[in-house]
Structure 1
């Protein structure tokens, strides 16, 4: 009979070879957006840079139990996002489009795999979003968007730290912001991402659909500084097609965010820290990381 450790080793060898650990089982890394994330900007061209660092505290199996041994790692990402709000309207909404080019540096130290070290760095899979729709009311904002993460980066099935996923992902976005007072000092926001994946050619596995919600409760001070509580919750909704296990991944985190807008300079800077308090693995990866996320976000009106 196989021991639990043997099963975990098999999971690492055959399953964790999938992807960077930030996303549940898709491309979008939770914790990228926070307060007021569901409000599309006004007409113009914008650059938004995300500096994200994720420290792995441990890896969990499908039951959410940490596997034994000294297992750690980190993911550092610098994502370049370009947003163009065209000034045109469609279905009563402001119409825009976007593109994201992520740069990744990934390192794992896996005691459960005999103390092996895995690492990779480079440009990750690229996202192209031809559709952003932003509606704006007196006390609310709503956004819908659609795009695709292309299987454009290098993927090595034998390397758990590979910067590429080895498959593509269609991502649908829906969210809203509600301003609780006339001065718009208090707000509640939620931004959801639904991901539909293609087959991973090297393994023949098709990751199941997943859904993620990033939320925030914010308050803007008279100085212009905005502070708030943020978090994310992500679920794999379907088991991976072709995987050896029917487990479905999930992760949950809570954190804080601060941000400030310099209107005359056309610059907004935000910083956030998240702590993951629960994570469970799905079939494609076999194990799921649990850790802490730190994010800096710079938006510049071009």
Structure 2
């Protein structure tokens, strides 16, 4: 494994809100954090959503998907704070909103192949979206949005556990949910994120664009409990720009499947759900398991 790939795998762990070791292939957004109802924009109002995320790294994978020799483990624990405001204004038939995301995370890495043994904590990169559009039909919901990840978190190219990534990214969102019955007990959903990255501080490298797809098949029981199968797939679409000649420049991939359970208390305007994802075919990045608990509160 080349020095560049080893370093890139480590640097990929420094990240932000929905952006750390479980990031989409090579980008900011972390797949698996939204799950079954990711494409459903809530009714007008002010919402807080808190994500508790634990990502357990059990190996590093090279560009062919093979495990890198020696013991290479780590973990990331994050509290991601997200505020969403949906107005009573409409545009093209959609509810109009905006959102902000601020993460706090702790990263510990023990990559023997690269001689990396360190940890770091801090506020990661911040995301702001001035435009979130949510459509609602009788048997469907859809979302489109645009926003920017700011390179606001602390970043150092020599510290792989840095909380920031060192570059900004434009993120475009498109997704939909289809309710298979009139009572909306069965739902199939898909949520995509496309990221266009800027140049990374210190290294001069511009990561290739990335695409993330989250999907789910859910069923709401009579008592209100919601269960489902979930998964995510992420691809780096272009090779990194600015990598020195002769060094490996593979494109990252990330694939996982898992399960989710959730419940909403209407009288409290409070929702709680949890999910587990197992990654099974990653390339040029870490591989492991993602655990996530999400609390949503309307004010």
- Indicate the TM-score class for this superposition, using the shorter chain for normalisation: over 0.9
The one-character-per-residue Cα deviations of 1:237-265 (angstroms, maximum 9, x if unpaired) are 01111123331101000000000000000
How far apart, in 2, do the equivalents of 1:14 and 1:276 lie? 19
Task: Output aligned runs, 1:53-72, within 5 Å.
Answer: 53-72=54-73
**Cα pair 1:257 1:273 within 8 Å, conserved:** yes
Q: CA deviation at 1:9?
A: 4.4
Q: Which residue of 2 aligns with 1:285?
A: none
The one-character-per-residue Cα deviations of 1:214-253 (angstroms, maximum 9, x if unpaired) are 0000000000000000000000001111123331101000
Q: TM-score, normalised by structure 1?
A: 0.93
| Gapped regions of structure 1 (runs ≥ 5) | 1-6, 282-287
**Is 1:299 aligned to residue 296 of structure 2?**
yes
The one-character-per-residue Cα deviations of 1:80-112 (angstroms, maximum 9, x if unpaired) are 000000110011100000000001100001111
Secondary structure, in 3 states, of the residue corresponding to 1:254? strand
Q: CA deviation at 1:14?
A: 6.7
**Cα pair 1:36 1:188 within 8 Å, conserved:** no
**Is 1:139 aligned to residue 139 of structure 2?**
yes
How far apart, in 2, do the equivalents of 1:68 and 1:254 lie? 25
Moved over 6 A (4+): none
The one-character-per-residue Cα deviations of 1:42-90 (angstroms, maximum 9, x if unpaired) are 0000000000000001001111111011110001111000000011001
Q: Which residue of 2 aligns with 1:105?
A: 106
Task: Output aligned runs, 1:1-302, within 5 Å.
Answer: 7-9=1-3, 11-13=5-7, 16-18=10-12, 19=14, 20-23=20-23, 24-114=25-115, 116-243=116-243, 244-281=247-284, 288-302=285-299
Change (3 A) 1:94 1:217: same
What RMSD in Å do the two structures reach over aligned CA positions? Answer: 1.2
The one-character-per-residue Cα deviations of 1:26-49 (angstroms, maximum 9, x if unpaired) are 111111110121010000000000
Secondary structure, in 3 states, of the residue corresponding to 1:35? helix
Change (3 A) 1:12 1:131: same
How far apart, in 2, do the equivalents of 1:156 and 1:204 lie? 13
How far apart, in 2, do the equivalents of 1:104 and 1:8 lie? 28
- Length, aligned pairs only: 289
| Gapped regions of structure 2 (runs ≥ 5) | 15-19
**Cα pair 1:9 1:112 within 8 Å, conserved:** no
Change (3 A) 1:206 1:149: same
Q: TM-score, normalised by structure 2?
A: 0.94
Q: CA deviation at 1:13?
A: 4.3
